[in-house]
Structure 1
């Protein structure tokens, strides 16, 4: 096939951070064949490649990227019903929230709490995206990927994906080798909306008759209030959503952290014991807020005034300014709590 390769392609407008230089080469990949050909092009020119989805979890260097950007843009979809289960297979380039909206409009249960998450379908298994009591590890039936080393198409079952908190086979052992081209999800035709998360319980005040559309509307309003929404018609910030993951600590370490947090008397719902484990997941936002407070700012970079997990590009900040600010957050949290914050945002340079 004829590959349309663009040179010196600006990347800043392809990310929600709105930061970054140009890519040496850029391909809009609208099919599996174009993905394969893009990889072959990169090999022929002796340069690396990077697979880009919605750019919502990415910070790009101002120096740009000296390789091939493969922009996943395949948007084919297929729906199959089997009793109470509905199987939806989506191309990696499908906008995630469009998929969620479609499911909610069709009154399909299982994905409603993942409304408003930016990015594309192809990224959902990589990060095992989750929010408000739901995550895709409970929805994914199969992932189809291209093996970049062999050119083979490989199908992964749910178990093959090795899902855990914000982690999967695709961002660990398989990182860089497998490019996701489509994902198959299982939705249910009957059920009850998931409103167990504390923000939703507070929003609905334990109303028993809640529709999927009402849950979606609530999620969008909550995410907008927190400044985590990247959708037209809603208020948002130039950021990549949650910059850091919630850390998991031992029970003994948690007790030390708890003493500090409780002494400050400034947090509720900030930790989640892990089932069948002595470990505890702790809110990174709570730790950061305890050190800095919402809206803390240094020059053109700062924390969101609504949610401390979001680092915001307030005024045409540079890549280095964001990285320096992130390190300041990490160093201070470690000094106070002895917790290392892992970055959820991917860095491209």
Structure 2
């Protein structure tokens, strides 16, 4: 495994940015994490394909990182390569006549919702206010208690290392609560959504309703979003409140007082602080309410 060899093989030889020792704290919304040994931001498919080929040759592990939400990066960093899709993977097209909105995996979910609103296409309103990229949103099948992303997906294009491009219709994918069956080793490149025509005013009103419901944290707050998947028994906030843990703190990490399913970096928090807080919540909720909370946060750089 050679980070240096991979770096030399890619630097200046692909359409994209290549760097070494990039702080993960700059790439995650929690602003926590050590350095990634290698960072590559391919701008097109050829650059991505070549990057994966080189990493495979050098036997370097890699991970796709979107907007850095729902990610907790290790204080020790990541010894592999962090890949951030840019360029053509951040493009968006809207066909008002067919109701199809196609977004690159790196496109912000909010940008996609706004594009649909602009041409009077309805169906994405429930996604308003959810942070992150389209690719990340799809992999986690984000949504509300009543509606999930898979309900509007038309098809998905992914890249299978060693196998090329794969297109799947939504019905060919299994969907679950914060989960989809796309293989973990495939990279989501593009998602098409099937929407319906509606009055822009009606769409805007519904979007504003969802935005208001999600205005939990102040602007600029350093948070990774929800810590745990909401169980059916009761909200995480209510379960935490019953345990008397609302507003609890570990080092620089604190459960937000008004929404206990969110952790905020109050300054100087490290990954160990967040993990300690999550473990504390999980164990006490389990003991008090017999609810086994499931993490919604993805860990990066931790030993398995």
TM-score, normalization: structure 2?
A: 0.88
Query: Which of 301, 312, 333 is the aligned partner of 2:285?
Result: 333
1:114-168 per-position Cα deviation (integer Å, ceiling 9, x unaligned): 11111111112211010364321111000000012x2411111112221111110
Shift of 1:293: 4.8
Matched, 1:112 2:125: yes
- Distance in 1 between the 2:25 and 2:36 partners? 10
Matched, 1:300 2:271: no
Shift of 1:292: 2.7
Unaligned 5+ residue runs, structure 2? 1-9
Greater Cα offset, 316-325 or 101-110? 101-110
Matched, 1:178 2:186: yes
Matched, 1:215 2:206: yes
Query: Which of 225, 240, 244 is the aligned partner of 1:241?
Result: 225
How do residues 1-349 of structure 1 correspond to structure 2 at under 5 angstroms?
2-3=13-14, 4-73=17-86, 74-82=89-97, 85-131=98-144, 133-148=146-161, 150-170=162-182, 174-175=183-184, 177-190=185-198, 211-224=202-215, 226-227=216-217, 235-248=219-232, 282-349=234-301
8 Å Cα contact 2:99/2:194 also seen in 1: yes
1:239-288 per-position Cα deviation (integer Å, ceiling 9, x unaligned): 1111101235xxxxxxxxxxxxxxxxxxxxxx5xxxxxxxxxx4222212
SS across alignment from 2:291: coil
- Distance in 2 between the 1:347 and 1:179 partners? 18
SS across alignment from 2:84: strand
Unaligned 5+ residue runs, structure 1? 194-209, 228-233, 249-270, 272-281
TM-score, normalization: structure 1?
A: 0.77
User: Aligned Cα RMSD in Å?
Assistant: 1.9
Matched length: 286
8 Å Cα contact 1:11/1:20 also seen in 2: yes
Greater Cα offset, 137-146 or 211-220? 211-220
